[in-house]
Amino acid sequence: MKFYYEKLQLYEEQLMEDLAELVSIRSVRDEKTITDHAPFGRTIRDAFDQMKNFAERDLFLHEDFDGYACHIEHGNGEEIIGILAHLDIVPEGDKEEWTFDPFTLTEYDGYLYGRGVNDDKAPLLAAYYAMKILRDLKVPFKRKVRLIVGGAEETTWECMEHYFQYNRQPVMAFSPDGDFPIVNGEKGVIQGSFTLNNELPSINNSPHKLLEIQSEKQRGFICEKCIVIFESSDPESLKNLLLEADKVIMSNQKICAFYQGEKTLSRNPHKGKSAFFKFAKDLVGIKEGIRNAEEFTRLLDSYFKEDVYGEKIGLFHEDQEMGISTMGIPYVVYDGSHFEIAFDYRFPKGQTLDMTIETLQAFSDQNHLDLLIHKTYDLLYVEPDAKLIRTLQQAYTTVIGENAECLTKGGISYARALENGVAFGPTFTGDDPNTHKPNERIRIDTLYKAIIIYCETLRLLAS
């Protein structure tokens, strides 16, 4: 391993320059700039071109697949060892929430900051530089190592569908888009929404009426902000009942309540405070009710309020290896005619997509809701005694000096596109990379460790 570190030292400056080049490209999917060989838009095409430049500079064989994906390879042999990474990123959001420019690689206090720096541009380069180091050291490969790079991981995954139409699957592979030690389990995912049509006029004589619910219609986080507008003939009494609201503004008979939660990934709803839950607690606590929201209030109270595991609608499941199910609520909206509640459900072994959809449909029918399924992913699980896992464990332990435990995560990585693959790094326990959030970052020490781990991993897998 001494030789890995020596080579890495020689490449540190070039690595940072390459990463800065990639981070400077706002490689967000853009339907307006789609052209031939740029199916995801101009800037993702630019990112592919930059990777092509690196490969040509370093004399690696490479091939582009119509702008959907590319691969860079080294070594010979019929069998392929794969590394799957991606160049596309999520939007930066509100730049005012960033300490540094999201598209200028910035080093500060032991971290590198920038959009995509952790997900997935630095990890991609970690794998690329591992290939480069092994080639320079003339490590013999009996298998071909292929870095497969996609452009739609954050959106539709068309990239991998297209790529594997033209290329066979690797015999073993990993995606540097998860956590260390080894993510051998990724929970199944169903994202969708329930819609309740406008209720019939109530016989309830409540002085309060609901006019509107506003929250951002996104699916990556639990509900962070929620604005609720009421009308009341007794606004002062209603204001006094909105105990969970962070701010309440009255204007004649209108009341506007603001609820603030925490920016928490919807795959981990138990890790943050939900603005939706705060609003639901207030709504349910209004004893005289809201005259046009009785059924909506019943639904919140009976099935959604303070439930992050899907237990109340019959979806709680626990598995010894993969843990428990989670149910995040990314947003809730009401436009005066329809209530919509979005959900992000993640489940372990023992539950299936078909079983889950059947339960969701039965719940919807029972409560007169319209069910819309937005996106689904089946779960991934690779047995801990598989050859791939044992090899990754050996590499990790050799470099880090600790046992490599297997983990289950709620995240979605390219490992699901593989017949025999898992997510492997780059994040260590204790790292806080702010993935998909403002001030995304990667610890410099984490990046360097990942490169060394990937060097040893590829040596073992390919030789």
pLDDT in tens, 27-70: 999 999 999 999 999 999 999 999 999 999 999 999 999 999 99
Q: What are phi and psi of 205, to 5 degrees?
A: -95, 25
For residue 206, the model assigns a pLDDT of 85
Torsion of CA 408, 417, 357, 188, to 10 degrees: 0
For residue 287, the model assigns a pLDDT of 83
pLDDT in tens, 135-176: 999 999 999 999 999 999 999 999 999 999 999 999 999 999
For residue 391, the model assigns a pLDDT of 98
For residue 10, the model assigns a pLDDT of 96
For residue 1, the model assigns a pLDDT of 78
- Which portions of the chain are predicted below pLDDT 50? none
**Domain map (residue ranges) of the chain:** 2-185+380-462, 189-377
For residue 199, the model assigns a pLDDT of 59
Provide the CATH number for the domain formed by 189-377 in this structure.
3.30.70.360
Query: Domain 2-185+380-462 is classified in which CATH homologous superfamily?
Result: Zn peptidases (3.40.630.10)
For residue 203, the model assigns a pLDDT of 54
